[in-house]
Amino acid sequence: MKYLVLLCDGMADYHKGPLNDKTPMQLAHKPNIDFCAAHGEVGTIKTVADGFKPGSDVANLAVMGYNPELYYSGRSPLEAASIGIELSSTDIASRCNIVTLSDEDDYSQKTMIDYCADDISTAEADVLIKFLEEKLSEEDLHFYTGVSYRHCLVLKNALGGSFEATPPHDILDRKITEYLPENKRILELMKKSYELLKDHPVNLMRIEKGLRPANSIWIWGSGNKKEMPSFKSKFGLDGAVISAVDLIKGIGKLTEMKVCEVEGATGYIDTNFEGKADAAIKTFKEGTDLVYLHVEAPDECGHRFEAQNKIRAIELIDEKILSKVKAYLDSTNDNYKIMILPDHATPLCLKTHVSDPVPFVIYEKYNEIDSGVKSVNEDTAAETKIYVNEGYEIMSRFVKK
């Protein structure tokens, strides 16, 4: 038996949006997803437990079968594992975005123009992060380069020093005044980063090219490392993750799953969809039982208010990933199961995540059922009345014989 989890980040949406009260799931042409829905189990699942913010961290941990109450302390420690940072249990890791802020003299009066500095490349970002490390690091404080705009700040032996801070993608176009971290040391770092980065040659070049400068860091998502049981010890299966983002790769590493690298996986609509399908097929052929294939694109389109791209992202997942992997699995004549779901909704109208339950589909090749659902979306999934209240129980439900 093989198992495919197709995690479509941020796919679910609200009706009140730019698409005449329809959702991207309703408008996307997705024959393969809908085939699985028609012949499988369809319902809704609460992936974000009460008391948690609706992040991809908490939601993906739950879908992978890990109760965030036990295994979550912040987003960054999960990403740090992917970057290859060895954290001790007393270190505090924080997400360090490089962002674009407006150019008022008073730092606290600036506006969050862009949480990703125009999708800065990893190569450019690496120069900036290394520059900050050179200028701002201290014995117990270090910067590490991640991917694109997503980097890491580690405070050594700082247990108890984790702090609340707002994700920058939640405050787009807003003044940062009331969202600045209360932690004085962190705030000071952010202010100093602006002075160091605003006229950095990398940024001067970006401005010349008409790109937004990466002129400040923004620190959030802090926490310490939690010990997690391996996926194999929990579910008895060899698992692998395929994703463009450090968060998912980090969870994979911490749970001792195989982490597959895919060339051209960007986390956006231009990602290498076929490459991800090929990686899944290759991994299955190598004997892996379960592949957790994560696609970030619908979420990014939600954050960017790109309605048509969000629809297209769902269609590309269906056409270039699901159809291909499913055709391979069919060709083996072995039984297999496919679970399709978002981690959370990223409604276009809000440009950020929400905690509402999301649709899920579980399909089994040699145990087809008639769900009565012709096309899965937020409404048809809710209508089945099948509801999973504890998100972290979905994995056991999926892999049970």
Q: Which residues bind Zn ion (CB under 5 A)?
A: 299
Q: Cα separations (Å) of 335 from 287, 323, 326? A: 14, 16, 11
Q: Which is nearer to Zn ion, 116 or 322 (CB)?
A: 116
Residue 93 CB, nearest approach to Zn ion (Å): 19
- As given in the structure block, the two tokens for residue 288 are 């892996």
User: Smallest distance from the beta carbon of 298 to Zn ion, in angstroms?
Assistant: 9
Nearest distance in Å: CB 179, Zn ion: 17
Smallest distance, Zn ion to C-beta of residue 352, A:
7
Q: Which is nearer to Zn ion, 10 or 239 (CB)?
A: 10
We find the least distance from the C-beta atom of residue 232 to Zn ion, in angstroms, to be 29
Please identify, using beta-carbon distances, which residue of 18 and 31 lies nearer to Zn ion: 18
Hey, what are 86's tokens?
């060895």
32/100 with CB nearer Zn ion: 100
| Pairing, β 2-8 against β 258-260 | unpaired
Shortest gap between Cβ of 170 and Zn ion (angstroms)?
Answer: 10
Read off the DSSP letter of residue 140: T
Per the DSSP assignment, residues forming a β-bridge with 100 are 114
Report the nearest approach of Zn ion to the CB of residue 75 (Å): 11
Smallest gap from residue 303 Cβ to Zn ion (A): 6
Q: Give 268 or 392: the residue with its C-beta nearer to Zn ion.
A: 268
H/E element, 218: strand 216-223
Calculate the alpha carbon distances from 43 to 55, 85, 255, 360, 371 in Å: 21, 38, 27, 5, 10
Packing angle, helices 201-208 and 122-136, rounded to 10: 150
CB nearer to Zn ion: pick between 41 and 299: 299
Cβ proximity to Zn ion, 60 vs 222, nearer residue:
60
- DSSP-derived letter for residue 317 is I
CB of 187 to Zn ion, least distance (A): 25
Is the CB of 55 or the CB of 252 nearer to Zn ion? 55
Smallest distance from Zn ion to CB 261, Å: 22
34 or 299, CB closer to Zn ion?
Answer: 299
Q: Based on CB atoms, which residue is closest to Zn ion, 299 or 364?
A: 299
Q: Which residues contact 353 (CB under 8 A, 6 or more apart)?
A: 10, 53, 54, 55, 56, 299, 344, 345, 346
Long-range contacts, stretch 328-336, CB < 8 angstroms, 24+ apart:
328/281, 328/284, 329/2, 329/4, 329/284, 329/365, 330/365, 332/2, 334/1, 334/2, 335/1, 335/2, 335/364, 335/365, 335/366, 335/367, 336/1, 336/2, 336/3, 336/4, 336/364, 336/365
The burial of 13, by beta-carbon neighbours within 10 Å (0-12 exposed, 13-18 middle, 19 or more buried), is given as buried
Residue owning tokens 């730019």: 18
Query: For Zn ion, which residue has the nearest CB?
Result: 299
CA dihedral 43, 33, 11, 73 (to 10 degrees): 70
Structure tokens belonging to residue 179 = 């969202």
| 257-263 contacts at long range (C-beta below 8 A, 24 or more positions apart) | 257/230, 257/231, 257/292, 258/283, 258/288, 259/82
